[in-house]
Structure 1
Amino acid sequence: MPLLEISVVPVGTGDESFSEDVKRAVEVIEQNGLNYRVTPTSTIIEGDIDKLFDVAQVIHLNEIKNNAKRVVTTIKIDDRTDKPLDLDGQERKVE
Protein backbone atom coordinates (compact mmCIF):
# COMPACT_ATOMS: atom_id res chain seq x y z
CA MET A 1 0.00 0.00 0.00
CA PRO A 2 1.46 3.41 -0.89
CA LEU A 3 2.84 5.77 1.74
CA LEU A 4 2.54 9.54 1.40
CA GLU A 5 4.64 11.95 3.44
CA ILE A 6 3.19 15.44 3.69
CA SER A 7 4.59 18.62 5.18
CA VAL A 8 2.54 21.81 5.06
CA VAL A 9 3.97 25.21 5.92
CA PRO A 10 1.41 28.02 6.15
CA VAL A 11 2.99 31.45 5.75
CA GLY A 12 1.59 34.80 6.80
CA THR A 13 -0.69 33.57 9.57
CA GLY A 14 0.85 35.73 12.31
CA ASP A 15 1.53 32.61 14.40
CA GLU A 16 4.83 30.74 14.56
CA SER A 17 3.24 27.52 15.89
CA PHE A 18 2.00 24.75 13.58
CA SER A 19 0.27 22.59 16.20
CA GLU A 20 -3.27 23.67 15.29
CA ASP A 21 -2.48 23.07 11.61
CA VAL A 22 -1.27 19.56 12.40
CA LYS A 23 -4.42 18.90 14.44
CA ARG A 24 -6.58 19.95 11.48
CA ALA A 25 -4.60 17.69 9.16
CA VAL A 26 -4.93 14.73 11.53
CA GLU A 27 -8.70 15.26 11.69
CA VAL A 28 -8.89 14.99 7.90
CA ILE A 29 -6.76 11.84 7.90
CA GLU A 30 -8.83 10.22 10.66
CA GLN A 31 -12.12 11.17 8.97
CA ASN A 32 -10.89 9.22 5.95
CA GLY A 33 -9.98 6.18 8.07
CA LEU A 34 -6.31 6.16 7.11
CA ASN A 35 -3.36 4.87 9.12
CA TYR A 36 -0.78 7.62 9.86
CA ARG A 37 2.19 8.71 11.95
CA VAL A 38 2.98 12.28 12.95
CA THR A 39 6.70 13.09 13.06
CA PRO A 40 8.36 16.32 14.20
CA THR A 41 8.55 17.63 10.62
CA SER A 42 5.89 15.78 8.61
CA THR A 43 3.06 13.27 8.66
CA ILE A 44 3.20 9.87 6.96
CA ILE A 45 -0.11 8.46 5.68
CA GLU A 46 -0.83 4.96 4.37
CA GLY A 47 -3.63 4.25 1.92
CA ASP A 48 -4.98 3.94 -1.58
CA ILE A 49 -3.14 6.36 -3.87
CA ASP A 50 -6.29 8.18 -5.00
CA LYS A 51 -7.45 8.68 -1.42
CA LEU A 52 -3.96 9.87 -0.41
CA PHE A 53 -4.02 12.55 -3.11
CA ASP A 54 -7.54 13.61 -2.10
CA VAL A 55 -6.55 13.90 1.57
CA ALA A 56 -3.38 15.83 0.69
CA GLN A 57 -5.45 18.29 -1.34
CA VAL A 58 -7.92 18.84 1.50
CA ILE A 59 -5.07 19.36 4.00
CA HIS A 60 -3.45 21.93 1.68
CA LEU A 61 -6.69 23.79 0.95
CA ASN A 62 -7.63 23.88 4.65
CA GLU A 63 -4.61 26.09 5.27
CA ILE A 64 -5.82 28.57 2.65
CA LYS A 65 -9.30 28.51 4.21
CA ASN A 66 -7.66 29.28 7.56
CA ASN A 67 -6.28 32.54 6.15
CA ALA A 68 -2.69 31.60 5.37
CA LYS A 69 -1.34 34.14 2.90
CA ARG A 70 0.79 31.43 1.31
CA VAL A 71 1.01 27.66 1.71
CA VAL A 72 4.04 25.52 0.84
CA THR A 73 3.13 21.82 0.71
CA THR A 74 5.74 19.13 0.15
CA ILE A 75 4.69 15.58 -0.71
CA LYS A 76 6.73 12.39 -1.09
CA ILE A 77 5.23 9.09 -2.23
CA ASP A 78 6.66 5.61 -1.65
CA ASP A 79 4.78 3.08 -3.78
CA ARG A 80 6.34 -0.38 -4.21
CA THR A 81 5.10 -2.77 -6.86
CA ASP A 82 7.48 -5.68 -6.19
CA LYS A 83 6.31 -6.49 -2.64
CA PRO A 84 3.90 -5.26 0.02
CA LEU A 85 4.64 -1.97 1.73
CA ASP A 86 3.03 -0.68 4.90
CA LEU A 87 3.78 1.83 7.61
CA ASP A 88 4.12 -0.68 10.45
CA GLY A 89 6.41 -2.92 8.42
CA GLN A 90 8.68 -0.02 7.51
CA GLU A 91 8.99 0.96 11.17
CA ARG A 92 9.78 -2.62 12.24
CA LYS A 93 12.63 -2.80 9.71
CA VAL A 94 14.56 -0.06 11.52
CA GLU A 95 13.84 -1.00 15.13
Structure 2
Amino acid sequence: MAIAEFTIIPIGTATTSLSGYVADLHKELEKHKDVTFQMTAMGTILEGPIDRLLEVIRAVHEVPFINGAQRVSTSIKIDDRRDKQASISQKMQSVADKLN
Protein backbone atom coordinates (compact mmCIF):
# COMPACT_ATOMS: atom_id res chain seq x y z
CA MET A 1 0.00 0.00 0.00
CA ALA A 2 1.35 3.40 -0.96
CA ILE A 3 0.51 6.92 0.11
CA ALA A 4 0.71 9.82 -2.32
CA GLU A 5 0.22 13.51 -1.76
CA PHE A 6 -0.47 15.70 -4.74
CA THR A 7 -1.30 19.29 -5.53
CA ILE A 8 -2.92 20.37 -8.78
CA ILE A 9 -2.70 24.00 -9.82
CA PRO A 10 -4.69 25.19 -12.84
CA ILE A 11 -2.94 28.02 -14.67
CA GLY A 12 -4.43 30.32 -17.26
CA THR A 13 -7.84 30.59 -15.65
CA ALA A 14 -10.20 33.56 -15.74
CA THR A 15 -9.99 34.10 -11.97
CA THR A 16 -7.53 33.78 -9.09
CA SER A 17 -10.09 31.76 -7.12
CA LEU A 18 -9.53 28.01 -7.42
CA SER A 19 -12.30 26.64 -5.16
CA GLY A 20 -14.49 25.73 -8.13
CA TYR A 21 -11.66 23.68 -9.59
CA VAL A 22 -11.04 22.06 -6.21
CA ALA A 23 -14.72 21.10 -5.97
CA ASP A 24 -14.51 19.49 -9.43
CA LEU A 25 -11.37 17.58 -8.37
CA HIS A 26 -13.24 16.31 -5.31
CA LYS A 27 -16.10 15.08 -7.49
CA GLU A 28 -13.63 13.16 -9.65
CA LEU A 29 -11.93 11.62 -6.61
CA GLU A 30 -15.29 10.40 -5.29
CA LYS A 31 -15.68 8.29 -8.45
CA HIS A 32 -12.62 6.20 -7.49
CA LYS A 33 -14.10 4.14 -4.64
CA ASP A 34 -11.13 1.76 -4.46
CA VAL A 35 -8.71 4.37 -3.08
CA THR A 36 -8.89 6.38 0.13
CA PHE A 37 -8.43 10.13 -0.14
CA GLN A 38 -8.18 13.02 2.25
CA MET A 39 -8.27 16.59 1.01
CA THR A 40 -6.32 19.24 2.91
CA ALA A 41 -6.10 22.99 2.55
CA MET A 42 -3.02 22.64 0.33
CA GLY A 43 -3.38 19.30 -1.46
CA THR A 44 -4.81 15.79 -1.40
CA ILE A 45 -3.54 12.56 0.15
CA LEU A 46 -4.34 9.21 -1.48
CA GLU A 47 -3.89 5.69 -0.15
CA GLY A 48 -3.87 2.51 -2.23
CA PRO A 49 -1.80 0.37 -4.60
CA ILE A 50 0.85 2.51 -6.31
CA ASP A 51 -0.31 1.75 -9.86
CA ARG A 52 -3.86 2.69 -8.97
CA LEU A 53 -2.79 5.92 -7.25
CA LEU A 54 -0.96 7.02 -10.38
CA GLU A 55 -4.04 6.26 -12.49
CA VAL A 56 -6.25 8.32 -10.18
CA ILE A 57 -3.81 11.24 -10.12
CA ARG A 58 -3.73 11.15 -13.93
CA ALA A 59 -7.54 11.28 -14.06
CA VAL A 60 -7.70 14.16 -11.59
CA HIS A 61 -4.92 16.02 -13.45
CA GLU A 62 -7.20 16.14 -16.52
CA VAL A 63 -10.14 17.75 -14.69
CA PRO A 64 -8.94 21.39 -14.87
CA PHE A 65 -8.33 21.02 -18.61
CA ILE A 66 -11.89 19.73 -19.04
CA ASN A 67 -13.08 22.79 -17.12
CA GLY A 68 -11.23 25.36 -19.21
CA ALA A 69 -7.73 25.68 -17.73
CA GLN A 70 -5.07 26.21 -20.38
CA ARG A 71 -2.23 24.83 -18.27
CA VAL A 72 -2.01 22.55 -15.22
CA SER A 73 0.90 22.05 -12.84
CA THR A 74 0.76 18.88 -10.72
CA SER A 75 3.24 18.07 -7.93
CA ILE A 76 3.35 14.54 -6.49
CA LYS A 77 5.06 13.03 -3.43
CA ILE A 78 4.93 9.25 -2.95
CA ASP A 79 5.64 7.18 0.15
CA ASP A 80 5.83 3.57 -1.05
CA ARG A 81 6.83 1.48 1.96
CA ARG A 82 7.51 -2.19 1.26
CA ASP A 83 8.76 -3.49 4.63
CA LYS A 84 5.38 -3.22 6.37
CA GLN A 85 1.81 -2.09 5.76
CA ALA A 86 1.39 1.68 5.89
CA SER A 87 -1.69 3.86 5.85
CA ILE A 88 -2.63 7.48 6.42
CA SER A 89 -4.09 6.66 9.84
CA GLN A 90 -1.10 4.50 10.83
CA LYS A 91 1.31 7.33 10.02
CA MET A 92 -0.75 9.81 12.06
CA GLN A 93 -1.05 7.37 14.96
CA SER A 94 2.71 6.81 14.99
CA VAL A 95 3.29 10.54 15.51
CA ALA A 96 0.52 10.76 18.12
CA ASP A 97 2.07 7.89 20.07
CA LYS A 98 5.37 9.74 20.20
CA LEU A 99 3.67 12.92 21.43
CA ASN A 100 2.16 11.13 24.44
Distance in 2 between the 1:24 and 1:50 partners? 23
Question: Which segments of 5 or more consecutive residues in structure 2 lack a partner in the other structure?
Answer: none
Letter aligned with residue 15 of structure 2 = D
Larger Rg: 2
Count of residue pairs brought into register by the alignment: 95
Structure 1 segments of 4+ aligned residues over 2 angstroms from their partners? none
Which deviations, in whole Å up to 9, do the C-alpha atoms of 1:25-76 show, x marking residues without a partner?
Answer: 2222221112111111110010111211111111111111111111100011
Partner SS for 2:26: helix
The answer for the alignment partner of 2:2 in structure 1 is 2
* 1:59 is the counterpart of 2:65: no
The answer for the alignment partner of 1:44 in structure 2 is 45
Partner SS for 2:82: coil
**Normalising by structure 1, what TM-score?**
0.90
**Normalising by structure 2, what TM-score?**
0.86
Q: How many percent identity over aligned positions?
A: 35
Question: Which segments of 5 or more consecutive residues in structure 1 lack a partner in the other structure?
Answer: none
Letter aligned with residue 31 of structure 2 = Q
Distance in 1 between the 2:53 and 2:27 partners? 14
Distance in 1 between the 2:51 and 2:16 partners? 32
